[in-house]
Structure formats: structure tokens, C-alpha cells
Amino acid sequence: MLFRSFFSRTLAAGILLLPSVLAGEGKWTPQQVLQLDTAALQRQGLQIPVSRLWDPARGTRLLAATVNIGGCSAGFVSATGLILTNHHCLFALVQEYSRPDRDLITNGFLARTLQEELPGKTTRVTVPRKFTDVTKQVEAAVPTGADDLARNKAIDAKEKELVAACEKKPGARCRVAAFDGGLQYVLIESFELSDIRLVYAPPRAIGEFGGEIDNWMWPRHTGDFSVARAYLDGKPYRPEFFFPVSTAGVKPGDFVMVLGYPGRTVRSLTAAEMAGQRDSYFALRAEVYGEWIRLLDETTRGSAAGTIAVASTQKGLNNVAKNAQGQLAGLKRGRIIEKQAQLEARVLAWAAQRPAFAPAVAAKNELDALTEKRRATAVRDFLLASIANGPIALRQATQLVRLAAERVKPDMERDAAYMERELPRLRDRLERDQKSFFEPADVALLSSLLRRLQAAGQSPLASAPDVNALYASTKVTELTGRLKMFTETTEQLRARHDPLLDLAFALDPALRALDQANKQDDGAVARLRPAWRRAVIAFAGKPVAPDANSTLRVSFAHVKGYSPRDGVFCTPQTTLAGMLEKDTGEEPFDVPASVREAAARIDPAKIPLDFLADADTTGGNSGSPTVNGRGELVGLNFDRVWENVANDFGYNPDIARNVNVDIRFFLWLLKDVEEADTLLKELGAAPAR
Ligand code: GLU
């Protein structure tokens, strides 16, 4: 469908060769991949037919081994359910089992038997099975003359209906994904595995070597990998397909593919919308989360238990805050918004002369106006939305209050986050939270949030409550009290007169109003974006991959260095020797003694560690299998270079580099440092060819 205009033009001209734009830019959907020209891809280095990537009829082949693990990507790497992903993707599971006297974060973890593997309370994996275009059904569900809120409601209801039918199959987890804001809707059926156990995590000093200093940077020397195993009915899961692990390695110029679940990019936004994202989202993330990181540092200093409890939250905030700074810097440096405005002007002029694209002009103007309108409440809206990422207790209280109100409604009429299908995971989360709760840290974050809400004006609260008193008497922060609240009605929750629940009740109208405003805007975007995108894609005259939306994508790339700035060129591969060079003995550059000793027995310059490629990736691609032209696993994507963080707004081939960990380093570590023979045997690394 996305190719229709392109194909009709090229067919008319008598050519059907897809251009060499295929490597580099584009997070291609499985459906798009099948329409790509194998010969063109083979010229780039693909050694298998594209049909080996995905068999839509049977829902199998390489992409069936590419799974989603809690918003990250991962790959099956053994016939008995081993899953390889990033260390940072399984970090919360490592943190779940860490205690001051058994600090798995610092020491790492290796299960030497199946019995020793550690089940994650909230870790889940989805395996892709089927993609069905449901655009016509979704569009037909919208009544003529519907306003934007009604449009959103109708689309939402149709999606819920399609999902419910899809999930009748045992183990199925389904969603309807909108592409290009509603130009296309696809029903995605996956198989969900909810028993996921930790098998291996390296010490943090390897998995996160370089810490926040090296994060989003190159040159890099991080061993960002961990291993889990999926179970079904208490037995190791046998995947339909798994990636053979290759020891053949990569070298500059080699073809690679990155397969995974990129989360969200904003390249299809108008220039004005991009400016809105910059000011009302990334700038606020950098500022607010920057403060929260400092508060977590201060309140846990000197407490081993506190440090472990907040480790996962803090790591997440650090990653997101530095990313936000990278987005801001990259937008400026690459003049991305200015370039988008120039492109837009050309599309507008082109569309204005073609009656078929007349709606695009009006749509674009209306999209711009929507963004401008939201600026007035941007700070307050951001803070309210950030309840999800900050003080744990307030997030829990708002969820409990909302759950009680939603539960009395028929399932299909509830807010999607509180439908029956979500309740087991919501309960698991409320339980799991206990391992991340540290009261002094939570008090500090809540105080900051409330102070900022007051300062932003239009605060939903008449006055800020006394936060210390509130934590002293609430039962929300106690596991048993909280789980009891999980089943209570609104009246029961109110009757408790719990100060934290009361705060959540006081915030509830504002949270609902924000929800409504978002839904109304979503309805407008579903009406406007397709018209605008149709014009942009027709104007481009070539296949255009849609923005990332947490669905399965493929990026074709090559191993490649880059020039981050004038006079500097970075080569694309690092080795263990570089890690040893960076070793200061102090966090975050403290190479573990076991690694130093093993490295002394070999030539560390011969152990490849990380490598760059020009794959088109974003957050969510963490843990993506990076495979060679034969579809064998050669690495794992885990990051991008600093100059490329803002590629979420626009791809620039000069600086578009993703950072991968070389599978050969992982294998060396398992063999020479961990002596993990059983695990290595199960991985059965394919010999070099
Ligand atoms: N380190 C990145 C993250 O955690 C990986 C994906 C990306 O390139 O954004 O979000």
C-alpha cells in the first residue's frame, strides 16, 4: 500500500528496479521487505533471498526469531529458548535479584544449570506471527461527520474488537499499529511468552563499561549483552527459528542487517511539530530528568540498599536525559528543522498544483496549529505524564485510583491500559515495584514534581501537600496494603483516607482531562496525517519507510566509520585492547580483574569488541540481532553515536552510525573469563568460513 504511488509511477516509466537507497535510511516493515528487489539487495551484500527473511503465510523465517522483550529487541539463539539481548535490556531483572549481600549488578550472574535461572516477575517476550492490513476496516469504522474525539473513539473501539478476536488464539498477544499516523493500520499477532529467566549477565563494569560518560558515544568498549531463556509450560521454549551464531566476524565494508523493534521516530512530523517536540518534550526531559537523577544520587549516597533499589530507575532516567540532550544538540547542529521546513515548502508547492493532493495543504496547516495550541500547557502536561517515570508511589496511587474507576465499566469500554488483558501485568508491576522503592528517593522526586507543578501554573492542586507526612502514613508503599487496594472499589479507596490516594484523587481530573486532550489530538492526527503523508510520499517518488512505531523492522547497512567533526575520522571497530587502555580502576572504567587476567594470556588487540554500521536505528532497537548477509548473528545493536541521536528527526548518511557489540567478544568472555562451557555449547557458535 505504501508503495502504490511509487510503483504506479515506475511501472508507467517501464522500470521496476528499486534504487540503491536500500542500504542506510529506512526501517523497513516485513511487508515492505518482501517487495524489495532481491537483486538490488544482493548487490549490497545480502546472500539470501528476501523471502528467507519472512514467510507471511507461515509466519516464520529469520524475523520470527526477532523478538520483543519489554520494549527492547532480542533474538533467539538456541533451539531451547536462549535469548540474546542487551545488558541494559535485562538490567531490571538483574536489579530485581540484587541485594547488598548478593550484588548481581556489580558481580554479574551465570546460571550453570536450568534450576539456577532467575525468573523475571514482569519480563515478557513476544514472537511475531502474522501481519494483516486492516486499514479498510479501521477507516470504515469511523462514522461520517465524526468529530475528532468521536473519530478517535471509533478507531479505538475497532482496534479493541480486532485485538479481542485475534487474542482468542491461545497465547496470542495482538495489537493494531498505525503507520504514518493512520495511512495504514496493521493487525499484528504475536505469541507471548511470560516465563522468562535470566541466564547470564556480565558484571556491570563490562555490560555498562564507560557508564554514562561513554553512553551514546564512540569509540566504545562496552559488552552490552545478557542472556535469558524463554519457558513455556515450565519447559525451555522451542522457537520456530533461531539465529546461528557466527564467529566469522565483520570487517569494514561488510553488509549487515539490524532486525528489531524501533520505538518511535518523528521524521514524518512537520517542521512546526518538530519544534514542538523539541521544546515541549526533549528540552523538558533534559531539565526535569536531569534534576531527578541528581536527587536519586543525593538520597542514596552511602546506602547500598538505596543504591541498588534505584539503580534501574536511575539508569533509565540517565539514558533518556542524555538522549534528550543529544536530540537538542543534533537538531541544532544538523539544522534538521530548517531542512524539514525547506522540504515542506517544496511539497506544498508541488501539492498545490495537483488537485488530488489539495487536502495535504490544509492538513499540514492544521497539524501545525494543533501543535501550537498545545504549547500553552506543555510544562504541566509533561509533568503529569512524567508521573509514570518518577515517584513510584504516586504512579501506583494514580493507577489504583484509575483502575477502580475503570473496572466497573464493560471491558471494551475501559481505557486500554485497564482492560482485563492488562490486569495481570499491572498487578505484577505493582508487586515488582517494591524492589525499586527507596523512600528517601521517592520523597525527593515527589517533592520536585509537586513543586514544578505549582511553578508551572494551572496546577491541579490547590496547595502542595506535606510530602514527608504523606509518606509517613500512606499504605500505598507497603506491598500487602497495595495489593489489597488492587481489588478495591473507588468508595473503598476513598474511605481509607490514605493521603497518597487522596493526592491521586485530587490529580485524577487533570489526568483525565489530559487523556481527553490527547485523544482528541490523536483523532485529529488520524484525520490529517495520512493526507499530508500521501503528498510527501508521492513527492519523494521512491519507497519511504514509515516512522518507527515499536513494530518489527529491518535496516540494511554496512560496517562503516565516520567523521564526527572536521579533521577527525573514526574507524568502525574497537578491541579489548582499547578497553584495557581506558581502564582507570575506577567506575565506570574499571575493568574487572578476571577480565584483565584473561586478557593477559592473549593478544587483546585480536579480540574485536564493538563496531559501527550505518543502520537506521532508534530506542527499542536495543538488543537487535545484527546479522550478516547469510542471516547469521555477528553482533547486537546497543546504541548510536552522539552526532546521530537526532536521527529520530531525520536520517543523515554522513553521521548515521549505530553501535553494535561484536559477538566474538561475547564468546571470548564466556570462554576465557566465565568458563561457561555449557552455555557456549548450547550456543554452538558456527565455525568461521
Ligand atoms: N542505547 C540506546 C537506548 O538505550 C539504544 C538504541 C538507540 O540507538 O537509541 O535507547
Measured by CA distance, the residue closest to atom 10 of ligand 1 is: 619
Q: Is 37 an annotated catalytic residue? A: no
**Quick one: 569 and 598 in the same domain?**
yes
Q: Are 306 and 85 in contact (CB under 8 A)?
A: no
Q: How many CB atoms lie within 10 A of CB 48?
A: 16
DSSP class of residue 564 equals S
Angle at 477 between CA 102 and CA 400, to 5 degrees: 125
Residue 399 domain-assigned? yes
Cα–Cα distances in Å, from 322 out to 226, 289, 293, 602, 640?
23, 9, 11, 36, 12
Angle between helical axes of 336-352 and 358-374 (0-180°, round to 10): 140
What is the Cα–Cα distance from 262 to 91, expressed in whole angstroms? 19
Task: Determine which one of 103, 148, 224, 442 is catalytic.
Answer: 224
Q: In this predicted structure, what is the pLDDT of residue 464?
A: 81
Say if residues 369 and 686 touch (Cβ distance below 8 Å). no
- How many angstroms is it from 91 CA to the middle of ligand 1? 14
Q: Is 622 in the pocket of ligand 1 (CB under 6 A)?
A: yes
618 lines ligand 1 (CB under 6 A): yes
State whether the beta carbon of 474 lies less than 6 angstroms from ligand 1.
no
Residue 622 is a catalytic residue: yes
pLDDT class of 462 with cuts at 50, 70, 90 = confident
Stretch 110-129: mean pLDDT = 98
Whether 319 lines ligand 1, by a CB cut-off of 6 Å, is yes
* Local structure of residue 55 (DSSP, 8 states): B
Q: What SS3 class is residue 82?
A: strand
Residue 406: CB atoms within 10 A of its CB come to 18
- The answer to whether the CB of 435 falls within 8 A of the CB of 95 is yes
Q: Note whether 83 and 208 are same-domain residues.
A: yes
Residue where the block lists cell 548518511: 653
Residue position matching grid coordinates 524501533: 262
Residue at which a domain ends, from 527, 554, 570? 527
Task: Give the pLDDT confidence score for residue 37 in this predicted structure.
Answer: 81
- Dist. CA 617–CA 658, nearest whole Å: 7
Higher pLDDT, 652 or 35: 652
| 688 domain-assigned | yes
Distance 624 CA to ligand 1 centre (A): 10
pLDDT for position 459:
83
Going by alpha carbons, the residue nearest to atom 2 of ligand 1 is 639
- CA-based Rg of the chain, rounded to a whole angstrom? 25
Per DSSP, the three-state class of 481 is: helix
Both 617 and 670 in one domain: the answer is yes
The ligand 1 atom at the shortest distance from the C-alpha of residue 617 is 8
CA of 275 to the centre of ligand 1 (A): 22
Average pLDDT over residues 100-115: 98
CA proximity to 211, closest of 551, 499, 589: 589
Strands 72-76 and 255-260, bridge-based pairing: unpaired
Regarding whether 610 and 516 lie in a shared domain, the answer is no
Q: Is 87 in the pocket of ligand 1 (CB under 6 A)?
A: no
Contact 84, 75 (CB under 8 A): yes
Q: 436 CB less than 6 Å from ligand 1?
A: no
Do 213 and 315 lie in one domain? The reply is: no
- Interval 521-556: pLDDT, tens: 999 999 999 999 999 999 999 889 999 999 999 999
**Per-residue pLDDT tens digits for 69-102:** 999 999 999 999 999 999 999 999 999 999 999 9
Asked, as a colleague might, if the bond just before 499 is cis with ω within 30 of 0, I would say no
Pocket test for ligand 1, best of 69, 88, 91 (most atoms within 8 A of CB): 88
Neighbouring CB atoms inside 10 A of 638's CB total: 29
Burial class from Cβ neighbours inside 10 Å (0-12, 13-18, 19+) for residue 662 reads buried
> Residue 60 carries which DSSP code?
B
Whose cell is 549487515? That residue is 256
279 and 252 assigned to the same domain: no
CA 510 → CA 13, 196, 301, 389, 458, distances in Å?
56, 37, 35, 17, 10
CA pair distance 438, 356, nearest whole angstrom: 59
Q: How far is 400 from 478, CA to CA, in rounded Å? A: 14
DSSP state of 170: T
Residue 88 is a catalytic residue: yes
Condensed to tens digits (0 to 9), the pLDDT of residues 364-387 reads 999 999 999 999 999 999 999 999
CA 617 to CA 358: how far, in whole Å? 33
HSE (side-chain half, CA atoms, 13 Å) at 594: 14
Q: What are phi and psi of 240, to 5 degrees?
A: -60, -35
Cβ of 357 closer than 6 Å to ligand 1, yes or no, is no
In a domain, 329, yes or no: yes
Identify the CATH number of the domain in which residue 687 sits.
2.40.10.120
In the predicted structure, residue 22 carries a pLDDT above the cut 70:
no
Mean pLDDT throughout 263-287? 98
Q: Which three cell numbers stand for residue 364?
A: 499540514
Say if ligand 1 is within 6 A of residue 638 CB: yes
- Mean residue pLDDT of the chain comes to 95
pLDDT (0 to 100) of residue 239: 97
Which of residues 473, 499, 527 is at a domain's end? 527
Q: Is the CB of 91 under 6 A from ligand 1?
A: no
Residue 620 CA to ligand 1 center (angstroms) comes to 7
CA–CA gap between residue 615 and residue 37 (Å, rounded): 19
pTM of the shown model: 0.95
What are φ and ψ of residue 112, in 5° steps? -85, -15
CA distance 166 to 192: 13
Q: How many CB atoms lie within 10 A of CB 58?
A: 11
- Does one domain contain both 250 and 321? no
Q: How far is residue 23's CA from residue 545's CA, in Å, rounded to a whole number? A: 12
Q: Do 248 and 277 sit in the same domain of this protein?
A: no
Q: Are residues 502 and 554 in the same domain?
A: no
pLDDT one-digit tens code per residue, 646-657: 999 999 999 999
pLDDT in tens, 383-430: 999 999 999 999 999 999 999 999 999 999 999 999 999 999 999 999
d(CA 52, CA 46): 11
Domain region containing 308: 271-527
Task: Please enumerate in sequence order all residues whose Cβ is within 8 A of that of 372, keeping only pairs 6 or more positions apart, or say none.
Answer: 272, 276
| Torsion on CA atoms 233, 684, 608, 250, rounded to nearest 10 | -100
Yes or no: say if 210 and 316 are a contact pair by the CB < 8 Å rule.
Answer: no
> Which atom of ligand 1 lies at the shortest distance from residue 215's CA?
1
Q: Are residues 515 and 573 in the same domain?
A: no
351 and 255 in a single domain? The answer is: no
- Report residue 48: phi and psi, to 5°: -125, 155
| CA distance linking residue 113 with residue 115, whole number of Å | 5
Crossing angle of helices 439-455 and 378-385, in 10° steps, is 160
Q: Is 146 within a domain?
A: no
Nearest atom in ligand 1 to 319's CA: 4
Query: In a 10 Å sphere around its CB, with 0-12 CB exposed, 13-18 middle and 19+ buried, how is residue 664 labelled?
Result: buried
674: cell is 566465565
Q: What is the mean pLDDT of residues 223-240?
A: 98
In a domain, 285, yes or no: yes
Q: Which of 88, 180, 442, 502 is catalytic?
A: 88
Residue 2 has pLDDT above 50, yes or no: no
How many domains does the chain fold into?
Answer: 2
Instruction: State the residue for C-alpha cell 492544521.
Output: 366
For residue 362, report the distance from its CA to the centre of ligand 1, in Å.
36
- Determine the Cα angle at 533 with ends 532 and 539, to 5°: 100
- Confidence check: pLDDT of 688 > 50: no
Asked if the structure places residue 493 within a domain, the reply is yes
Q: Tell me: do 408 and 476 sit in the same domain.
A: yes
Output the pLDDT for position 1. 27
> Which cell is 451 given?
513543586
Query: Given 622, 624, 648, 662, which residue is catalytic?
Result: 622
Residue 175 placed within a domain: no
Mapped onto helix, strand or coil, the DSSP state of residue 587 is coil
- For ligand 1, whether the C-beta of 86 sits within 6 Å is no
Is residue 59 a part of any domain in this protein?
yes
